[in-house]
Amino acid sequence: MHSPASPSNALAWQKLLAPYARSDHRKAWFQLLTTSALLIANWLLMLWSLAGPYWLTLLLALPATGLQIRLFIFQHDCGHGSFFRSRRLNDLTGADIGVLLLTPYKYWRRTHAIHHATSGDLDRRSFGDVDTMTVAEYQALSALGKFGYRLYRNPLILLSIGPVYQFVIKHRLPIDIPLSWKREWRSVMGTNLAIAVVLTAAWFTIGIKSFLLVQAPITFLSAALGMWLFYVQHQFEDTYWRENPDWDFHEAGLQGSSFYDLPRVLHWFTGNIGYHHIHHMASRIPNYHLPQCFRDVPEVQRVTRLKILESLPCAWLALWDTEKRKLVSFREARRTATT
């Protein structure tokens, strides 16, 4: 459960967290180069393993998936302008990583910024979030509407078909954004063109079948696990949703984002994104400073802490109960409605 934090206003929080909101070129380059080298080596090893049983290739996809998720966090930091000190270097790095991750960098950067600005605000549910209805909104739906929302929130759909649709299909043509977002549309088209170049190069070198046999499982697993990380860091029982004017940015960051308390090796593969509450409080803190901030600042330790086994039941939460101020499952919402 949550405990109240000490700083009482935005200025106090800014002063408390500002020492960690600084980029370090040496740490950033070390992270980027070592992770990229490991991923390339892992990828080539998977390609070599195709000569043997395919289960070996799939086994090797596991560390490659972790490395690709780690690269995604670097792109994520670039989008917040925190990975490198140079904005141009952040943008170049983010765009390059985006080709591998099938994620148009500037499109993702803008929608993710909207997520940060509106997270936990019931009146501004928009881009970059897992769609979440209140119990009353769900109960007001037609039978077909309820079926559609239940299908969307089904964990098997949300963590398998959903990520594939998001990264492989929607990112190629995000028709939900306005045409006036010209920079973002250029990023989408540029990323699509770069992906086409990569596929063409694979066709004329190792062959498109070999390329897909290696890359497809990495893409699927990293998309699914990435979706789970994003999901569980906001979709837990005592998360934060409020209507205006009661919504507060810093309360939303602390109460509406969990600390995903992973083993150290998983914190490494996931680029410390488990310290998600700190990230939402101060998005300019790069991933490589988040653990130190958590250790140094007691005020950010009093949040919802989830370990892996504790997080699994969160998959069945789907509706915000405005009276109880907690996320509930469809079953709990139905039980409450009949009592």
Q: Please state the separation of Cα 98 from the chain's center in Å.
A: 14
Is residue 30 within 8 A of residue 84, CB to CB? The reply is no
Identify whether 5 is part of a domain: no
What's the confidence (pLDDT) of residue 1? 38
Encoded amino acid at 163, one letter: P
Residue 2 lies in a domain: no
Q: Is residue 4 part of a domain?
A: no
**Would residue 3 count as lying in a domain?**
no
CA distance 35 to 272: 14
Yes or no: say if 155 and 276 are a contact pair by the CB < 8 Å rule. Answer: no
In a domain, residue 24? The reply is: yes
Q: How much is the pLDDT for 335? A: 85
The answer to whether position 253 is within a domain reads yes
Range of the domain at 109: 10-337
Q: Which of 154, 116, 131, 96 is closest to 253 using CA atoms?
A: 116
- In 3-state terms, the chain is what percent helix, strand and coil (to 5)? 65, 5, 30
Q: Which residues contact 212 (CB under 8 A, 6 or more apart)?
A: none
pTM of the predicted model, to two decimals? 0.92
pLDDT at 8: 58
Q: How many domains does the chain have?
A: 1
CA distance 251 to 248: 5
- The C-alpha atoms of residue 238 and residue 251 are separated, in whole angstroms, by 12
Residue 1 lies in a domain: no
Q: Going by DSSP bridges, is the β-strand pair 317-321/326-329 parallel, antiparallel, or unpaired?
A: antiparallel
Reply yes or no: is the peptide bond before residue 245 cis, omega within 30 of 0: yes
169: tokens are: 């299909």
* pLDDT, tens only, 154-190: 999 999 999 999 999 999 999 989 999 999 999 999 9
User: Which positions of the chain have pLDDT values less than 70?
Assistant: 1-8, 338-339
